Amino acid sequence: MQDILKYINSVEGVIGSAVFSDKGSVLANAFPALIDASSLKKAAALVLECSHGLQISQTLDILDLRYSDGRILAKSFTGATLFLLCTKNINLQMLSITLNLAVKKLEPKLPRETAPSPPSAVSPAMPAESASADGILRLAVGHLANKQASASFDSLGMIAVSQPTFTYISEYYKIPFKKLILTNAGANTSGTFPVMVMKDMDPQYDGTIVVGPGIEKKLKVGEGDKVEVKIG
């Protein structure tokens, strides 16, 4: 993998590159020494969270984050993500050609993983009172302990659910979704929000809708309050 990353780094404007697994680990990197391993691990975790939550692999070929002095690019492919730090004037069209070739060479070099255990046929357990006679699903509001992460997706106008909660809601309404309508009937407030699915969320958040301070204020709800949940 190292040779392939060095090949990518030879493109004018590329400062460094790395390969992250779909589990959030750093498989290989060719970054300058000033960028240490711990920084790359944090970047891998954030890329994983964004990819799952925003469903990047299903909607975008390359995630392009632009800053005043540079750009961060992430290209997802089967089992991994290519992560690049570039100058702000990088020629993305030329770089895309290089990345497409690199991906084809990287895929067979990825470590093979043992097959996961087959999932249980039982639907994820959710609070018994969540389903009601009127057919409307009601779930509790939750907060992330990490306020910085909470504020991050809140700034995008998004809410978050765990993977089991996503599955539960999909099975309840018998349809997949990307947005949810949340209603606080007591305060007569509601809103439609894009959903970030966080696969590695702590089990304590199963059965809840995680919201940030902005959406909490809009809906006039607090942690533990029940909201009506419908497909947006």
Over residues 173-217, the pLDDT tens digits come to 898 888 999 999 999 999 999 888 877 677 888 889 988 888 989
**Residue holding tokens 């765990």?**
162
Domains of the chain: 2-109 (3.30.450.30), 128-231 (2.40.40.20)
Q: Label residue 226 by pLDDT band (50, 70, 90).
A: very high
Q: Which of 169, 226, 219, 163 is nearest to 193 (CA)?
A: 219
Q: Which has the higher per-residue pLDDT, 208 or 60?
A: 208
How do residues 78-132 score in pLDDT, each as one tens digit?
888 899 999 999 998 889 889 999 999 999 998 876 555 555 444 455 554 455 5
DSSP state letter for 111: P
Read off the pLDDT of each residue in 2-23 and give the average, rounded to a whole number.
Answer: 91
Single pTM value for the model: 0.48
Q: At a CB cut-off of 8 Å and minimum separation 6, what does 177 contact?
A: 169, 170, 195, 231, 232
CB 153 within 8 A of CB 160: yes
The conformation of residue 108, written as its DSSP 8-state character, comes to G
Among residues 54, 102, 53, the alpha carbon closest in space to that of 80 is found at 102
